[in-house]
Amino acid sequence: MYHDIVLHNGVTMPAVGFGTWMLKGEPGKQAILDALAVGYLLIDTAHMYDNEAIVGQAVAESGLEREEVFITTKLCRTRAGYELARQGIEESLARLQTDYIDLLLIHEPYDKALDMYRALTEAYRKGQVRAIGISNFNAKQYLDFIGSCDIIPMVNQVECHIYYRRKELQQTLMSKGTQMQAWSPFTEGKKPIFQEPVLQAIGRQYGKTAAQVALRYLVQQGISVVPKSSHRERMKENLDIFDVTLTARDIARIQQLETGKTLFGWYDD
């Protein structure tokens, strides 16, 4: 249904995934089932979200084969360390009701991130994980990190949206073989992105919404995205971005919105 991104180890990852931050309980599970039903094949969760179990349940109940769904999860501070990370991987596998994870990330640049990554690397070599990576690392942290890694991270998932495009970070990652993935492509409500006049005007040319233009802008530049929505119609809309190509002029107009500043205070680029 939609395009894939090929990671440096040959694993293919959907360009548009479904984010599950804040989804809990039965309503959360239903939202994930809805996402799978409308065509999402990448579901993004994390230890920190405390919802891996409902992701596992939804995938099991979806009627899809396990290998059709790409599951991403992340280990957080409570699993910072080699043994703790090993334990965390087993916990995730159990909660997700699966014998492998498609993409496993270290959620933040913890002091013990390299020890954690050793456990991820082992799990990758054993086939418990198909791809490994990091999240929320800025360029300096990333370059320091890969200086001590056996395996270059396949993905760095970071804050990225029209106001904070992070092109230099993407170029640094790409030069070493790491794919940039965007969390918060809609800014999690910190900016009125759906009312952004530039996006609305560009969208009108193509019969698309501001939200669709915001996602297409990133995906067209090789950044995979994990938007979140609890509304089935919006879920469909967020997938329906591959029948248009933004022009160089469109992209230049959107680039005028760039602030170079994080909206979440995670980064010091």
Q: Domain limits of the chain? A: 4-255
Q: Of the listed 49, 124, 142, 217, which one is catalytic?
A: 49
pLDDT score, position 267: 59
- Residue 108: the pLDDT is 97
Predicted confidence at residue 3, as pLDDT, reads 84
User: What value does the mean pLDDT take over residues 127-153?
Assistant: 97
Q: Tell me what the mean pLDDT of segment 252-261 comes to.
A: 97
Residue 162's alpha-carbon distances to 65, 138, 187, in angstroms, are 35, 18, 9
pLDDT for 265 equals 81
pTM, whole model, 2 decimals? 0.97
What is the structure's pLDDT at 2? 54
209 contacts: CB under 8 Å, gap ≥ 6: 194, 203, 237
- Both tokens assigned to 82: 């080699």
- Cα–chain-centroid distance for residue 229? 14
Report yes or no: 189 and 207 within 8 Å, Cβ to Cβ.
no
Higher pLDDT, 267 or 210: 210
The DSSP letter of residue 140 is: H
Contact 20, 32 (CB under 8 A): yes
pLDDT confidence of residue 140: 97
Share of the chain above pLDDT 90, in %: 96
Confidence check: pLDDT of 1 > 50: no
pLDDT tens for 48-70 read: 999 999 999 999 999 999 999 99
Average pLDDT over residues 17-25: 96
Stretch 95-110: mean pLDDT: 98
Banded pLDDT at 269 (limits 50, 70, 90): very low
163 is catalytic: no
**Domain 4-255 has what CATH class?**
alpha beta
Mean pLDDT (the chain) is: 96
